[in-house]
Amino acid sequence: MQRIILHVDMDAFFASVEVMDNPSLSGKPLIIGALPGERGVVSTCSYEARKYGVHSAMNIKKAYQLCPSGIYMHPNYEKYKEISNKLHSIWCTYTDCLESIALDEAFLDITNNFKDFNEARKIAFEIKKRIKQELNLSCSVGLAYSKSAAKIASEEKKPDGYFEITSEKDFVNLIIDRDVRTLYSVGKMTAEKLKKYGIKTVRDVRKNSEKVIDILGKSGRFIVNLSSGIDERKVIPHEPKDAKSISREITFQQDVDNVTFLKDVLFLLSICVEKRAKRLGLYGNGVILKVTYADMKSITRSKNIPSSNDYLKIYVEAKKMLLKIKRGPVRLLGVGLYNLSEKYMEQLSFFDTLADNKVKSEGAKKRLLLAVAKKYGVNLLPYLDKTHLKGNLYETIEKMRSKL
């Protein structure tokens, strides 16, 4: 049976969500990532900004050189996650075989739901219509017989596009003279390695299949197959329990060596981890701390804990580890849960006797948040929401840092 796969990819997702919230930004070069002069890279940008040569992963300083008239904003990941959840709710009405690639991108295997490409085509346009009507956002959809073909199809007519590739022959005809990096899994280093042997295009791969396999081994055989349109990878639904860890981290615009501030940031990050873990119904059996210093050297520390997704237990352990590592200016701070499980293993632990853990109620969380808020003169009440963070964590922490 021929597989029928859709690849749905939102158009300039972060930027489009900001335009949805503030229509006055429509039609303007909007760049999400950092402000001019700050550290950071472009997370995404509007199509108007792309006309200036700005693109994702570009250093924000370079982006400003190319587009000084652009509107620069910090990302609000909590808001984007909320919209992403709504997108997934739409996609899941058409199949239970959905592989999420990112907040704004997914493969849908609809082989068992619709009998042929004619029916699938109608579903593709129905998905586009629903996303536009329900969320006022646009997406591009690729319909194809394989994952790699569907991915390329969705990129073919961006933005707000639709394209289909229904056979291996059509796939090969479309990409035969394109750069070898068109093929899935061929990154910059692999492409450079192949180009040393004169293999620059998909056609070159097909002509030199044995050489490609000699150069790259097992991955080379996969690439050779792709050049002929052969891709047997399945769409693999990812369940929450499949996650290896849940974490949240923040990169400061200026290095920080104030330990009290770092502990307060850990407290907010721990709340973020708790919210995501509870939303997914997961518990962790370990806490991990990540620190990157000003010289870009990173360290991680971890500690096993009894099964939990409680912010206070996460925070207490992360704080202990923070106080034991070497002091120095910190560029990035992160905390997370690992060894995840859907099952809660209840047991008495030393947390039950810790002075830090006086009360585990939401009332205790509110009192702690208000204490931190008063110290820095910021509003932390949005962090009391039981499911989502309504505020912008990055901007909140930067406001806190500015008060040091």
Q: How far apart are CA 288 and CA 311, in angstroms?
A: 13
Catalytic (active-site) positions: 105
> What's the token pair of residue 52?
């200036």
* Angle between the N-to-C axes of helices 188-195 and 209-216, in degrees from 0 to 180, rounded to the nearest 10: 120
Query: What tokens does 339 get?
Result: 């060894």
- Side-chain half-sphere exposure of 48, counting CA atoms within 13 A: 16
Q: How far apart are CA 388 and CA 404, in angstroms?
A: 28
Integer angstrom CA distances of residue 401 from 16, 32, 260, 376: 29, 21, 11, 8
Q: Within 13 A of 341's CA, how many CA atoms are on the CB side?
A: 12
Helix (H) or strand (E) run with residue 10 in it:
strand 5-10
Q: Of all helices (H) and strands (E), which one includes residue 284?
A: strand 283-293
Contact 356, 300 (CB under 8 A): no
Helix (H) or strand (E) holding 143: strand 139-144
Name every residue whose Cβ is closer than 8 Å to that of residue 192 and which is 6 or more positions away in sequence: none
286 alpha carbon, distance to own chain's centre: 22
Place of tokens 């690729």: 142
- The strand pair at 283-293 and 330-341 is best described as antiparallel
Q: DSSP assignment, residue 336?
A: E
Please give the Cα distance from 81 to 14 (Å, whole number): 10
Q: Which phi and psi angles does 345 have, rounded to 5°?
A: -100, 100
